[in-house]
Structure 1
Amino acid sequence: MDQPTDKKQQILCIGSVLWDVVGRATIAMRAGSDVPGRIERIPGGVALNIAMALGRFGLNPSALTAIGRDPEGEELMAACGRLGVSTEHAYRSDDLPTDQYMAIEGANGLIAAIADAHSLEAAGPRILTPLIEGPLGTREAPFDGLIALDGNLTHALLEEIATDAAFAKADLRVAPASPGKAERLTPFLRHSRAVLYVNLEEAGLLCQRTFETSAEAAEALVARGAKRALVTNGAKPCSDGTANGVITACPPEVLVTRITGAGDTFMAAHMAAELSGMDREAALERALHAAAIYVSGELPA
């Protein structure tokens, strides 16, 4: 992958950093299926997945999150260091356990998943202290770089971020953690600096209607006030909508070997492409290519 020209560019990734426990089978599954497969535990969470992908593009990602001081948390901190993701400013709790996510994937896609991000939610605004009281920024001197924000935060905290002076100069890139949390992004629908990254189902939840295509969804999100919306739809065309119109591109055809983290990889690749100076069309193509490589298993998780 090409790297942006500014390899020192720092991006803050705010949200979930946890352990992913993912079971994968190579055959189609349904509710109640009991099949052979592989189970692995890997560092994950939306914010961390984005940060890891950004690191592969030569950027300098830093995670603002909550990580426990339990053995799982210490192991996760060490893993982040090896992966090139700074956790220097993460909130560490003596009382809250390290969060985790569990998913089951079959040949026919994601079968079920449970995200236990209760510690992140309980930590609340404490994870933002480095942006409000320094050293990353203050309300008087806001951070003016790129921020990737995920929907694992509570609705109340996301509303606070949408209006807090500490975020007044940031380039906000926002994604829901899952369709079940998509409506938490409502405060950013009419935000002057927020770019939304959603899939077709999440777009429908935000607009309270059903869409057939990503282009239709992107157009509707912009009509509802979004500054910009990128809508993915699996292997079908993906769209980037702004007030200047909607552009659409098709993902490359690949054999899908994993799903968890694909949307996060798309988002990170798109951010990195735009930082390197690519226009809308080229950035969209680059992001789709990166996501395709990821789901094919050609890149490490």
Structure 2
Amino acid sequence: MSENKSITQRELQILNWIKQNPLISQAELAKLANISRSSAAVHISNLMKKGYLRGKGYIISPKNSVAIIGGINFDILGAAERKINPKTSNPGRIRHAIGGLGRNIALNLVKLGVPNYFITVYGNDAEGEMFKQDALKNGMDITYAKQLFNAHTSNYLYLNEASGERFVGLDDMKIFDKLTPEFLTTRLTPVQNSEIVGVDANLPEETLKWLTQNYSGPIFAKAVSLNKTLRFMPILDKIDTLVINSIEVLTLTGITANDERSARYSAEKLFDLGIKNLLIYIDEKGVLYGNRSQLSFLPEPATAINNTNGCGAAATASLIQSRLQHLSFEETAKNAATALYLTAGSYDPVNDELSIELINETKRTFY
């Protein structure tokens, strides 16, 4: 039956919620709409009669090749115009954006043509509603994400120097404690059916351990923050590919990676700890990518660096896309570094122009 019958505003509202989360219950819909459960059932019945919904599952999503499990944040960025003086007001730009490491990886994958499920939790607040609308606009599949009632969507406030380097960050991310093994157990089928699973360090340590015990495919992991990066330590030998910056490397290895030589030394230490593949990015220096057999260092190209937040997510997405396409070692390294620096040139955590075509065109000038 075609979707050509008239639909009320309330029915349209409920239909949009179901499109965002086909697993949503009638009770959850009733809470969102501030109506009784029986009224929600009537609206759903009407949508079925009109042909907008079919059966109890409402909507059947296509099988995706990748599952990304991680965080979604509401980002507030302050970008200074010159070196920050912490004792006074500093001129600069303030931007608001939907971000979050897991979300950024998932969205970058969409831009690179890789369908994926983004599995996360977010709040029943203004930021949560913004995330749902943003996901819908960008074609993200959040079928297995969950909106939690009486919870606040994660927020991340950070200040960058004029160089784009992080000066300070403050996060309010307690909601990610809800990303428990019990939560993922109800989403185990799409996870186990994925060719690759991507995670970030926002997941609790017990959840990361549980994932390695219940998923046998390659896990791509992106470190985030010094304290959270330590959550990867017990499962380093279970991670296929780790993406990490020079500051986070220090947390795992005790080595300061501030140039190519020290980055290679850090890489060897991580290989000893069980990591199979690795990408380390060093501000103002470059990117080291490889494995125990081969390592390649790609220097930072002569390009604008406006915001380093989101760089690692872009590199992670590119590495996943390259693996799925069985690209060569050299192309994988160049694509990841190019995606990273294209994102650094944007003030947003995801470069809206990112695409396979742009990466292929730009890497010729970078490398």
For 1:116, the equivalent position in structure 2 comes to 172
1:181 maps to which of 228, 231, 241: 228
1:258 aligns with 2:304: no
1:58 maps to which of 113, 130, 137: 113
Change (3 A) 1:127 1:194: farther
Q: C-alpha separation between the residues in 2 aligned to 1:32 and 1:87?
A: 42
Q: C-alpha separation between the residues in 2 aligned to 1:235 and 1:184?
A: 27
Tell me the secondary structure at the aligned position of residue 190 of structure 1: helix
Give the counterpart letter for 1:151 in structure 2.
Answer: A
For 2:219, the equivalent position in structure 1 comes to 172
In the superposition, the TM-score normalised over structure 2's length comes to: 0.72
> What's the CA shift for 1:56?
1.0
Give the counterpart letter for 1:243 in structure 2.
Answer: R
> What's the CA shift for 1:152?
0.7
Q: C-alpha separation between the residues in 2 aligned to 1:175 and 1:31?
A: 30
1:198 maps to which of 244, 264, 273: 244
For 1:4, the equivalent position in structure 2 comes to none
Q: C-alpha separation between the residues in 2 aligned to 1:182 and 1:106?
A: 23
**Aligned ranges for residues 35-184 of structure 1 at < 5 Å?**
35-108=90-163, 109-132=165-188, 134=189, 136-137=190-191, 142-162=192-212, 164-165=213-214, 167-168=215-216, 170-184=217-231
In the superposition, the TM-score normalised over structure 1's length comes to: 0.87
Tell me the secondary structure at the aligned position of residue 86 of structure 1: coil
Change (3 A) 1:218 1:62: same
2:280 maps to which of 228, 231, 234: 231
> What's the CA shift for 1:207?
1.5
Choose 216-225 or 238-247, whichever is displaced more: 238-247
**Between Structure 1 and Structure 2, how many residues are aligned?**
284
Q: C-alpha separation between the residues in 2 aligned to 1:234 and 1:276?
A: 29
Q: Is the 8 A contact 1:230 1:241 kept in 2?
A: yes
Give the counterpart letter for 2:310 in structure 1.
Answer: G
> What's the CA shift for 1:33?
4.4
Greater Rg by CA: 2
1:18 aligns with 2:112: no
Identity of aligned pairs, percent?
22
1:215 maps to which of 260, 264, 268: 264
Q: C-alpha separation between the residues in 2 aligned to 1:130 and 1:217?
A: 38
Q: C-alpha separation between the residues in 1 aligned to 2:328 and 2:313?
A: 20
Q: C-alpha separation between the residues in 2 aligned to 1:263 and 1:30?
A: 27
Q: C-alpha separation between the residues in 1 aligned to 2:255 and 2:341?
A: 28
Deviations 1:45-102 (A, max 9, x none): 0001111111111111221111112232122111111122111111221122111111
Q: Is the 8 A contact 1:53 1:265 kept in 2?
A: yes
2:337 maps to which of 264, 288, 293: 288
Tell me the secondary structure at the aligned position of residue 238 of structure 1: strand
Deviations 1:116-155 (A, max 9, x none): 21011134234413432x4x15xxxx33411110001112
Q: C-alpha separation between the residues in 1 aligned to 2:327 and 2:168?
A: 36
Q: Is the 8 A contact 2:197 2:219 kept in 1?
A: yes
> What's the CA shift for 1:280?
1.4
Q: Is the 8 A contact 1:251 1:289 kept in 2?
A: no
Q: C-alpha separation between the residues in 1 aligned to 2:127 and 2:323?
A: 35
> What's the CA shift for 1:185?
0.8
For 1:297, the equivalent position in structure 2 comes to 346
Q: C-alpha separation between the residues in 2 aligned to 1:28 and 1:82?
A: 36
Give the counterpart letter for 2:176 in structure 1.
Answer: L
Which 4+ runs in 1 deviate beyond 4 A? none
Q: Is the 8 A contact 2:121 2:178 kept in 1?
A: no
Please provide the CA RMSD for this pair: 2.1
> What's the CA shift for 1:107?
0.8
Change (3 A) 1:127 1:19: farther
Give the counterpart letter for 2:201 in structure 1.
Answer: G
Q: C-alpha separation between the residues in 2 aligned to 1:238 and 1:263?
A: 11
> What's the CA shift for 1:181?
1.6
Q: C-alpha separation between the residues in 1 aligned to 2:326 and 2:85?
A: 44
> What's the CA shift for 1:179?
2.6
Change (3 A) 1:30 1:145: farther
